[in-house]
Chains A and B, each alone.
Chain A
Amino acid sequence: GQQLNQSPQSMFIQEGEDVSMNCTSSSIFNTWLWYKQDPGEGPVLLIALYKAGELTSNGRLTAQFGITRKDSFLNISASIPSDVGIYFCAGQRSGSARQLTFGSGTQLTVLP
Chain B
Amino acid sequence: KAGVTQTPRYLIKTRGQQVTLSCSPISGHRSVSWYQQTPGQGLQFLFEYFSETQRNKGNFPGRFSGRQFSNSRSEMNVSTLELGDSALYLCASSFGLPNTGELFFGEGSRLTVL
Contact = CB atoms under 8 A, between A and B. Distances in A.
Contacts of A90: 43, 101
B64 interface: no
Query: Which of A97, A98, A99 counts the most chain B CB atoms within 10 A?
Result: A98
A87 interface: no
Interface residues of B, number: 29
Contacts, number: 71
A7 B4 CA distance: 29
B55 A96 contact: yes
Contacts of B103: 33, 45, 98, 100
A43 B4 CA distance: 12
A112 interface: no
B107 interface: yes
A45 B102 contact: yes
A95 to B, nearest CB: 8
Nearest to A35: B105
A62 interface: no
A98 B94 contact: yes
A98 B99 contact: yes
B28 interface: no
Nearest to A1: B44
B104 A1 contact: no
A31 interface: yes
11 contacts: A1-B41, A1-B44, A31-B100, A48-B100, A48-B101, A90-B43, A92-B101, A97-B48, A99-B33, A102-B44, A103-B42
Those 4 A-B pairs whose CB atoms lie nearest each other, nearest first:
A42-B105, A92-B101, A31-B101, A102-B43
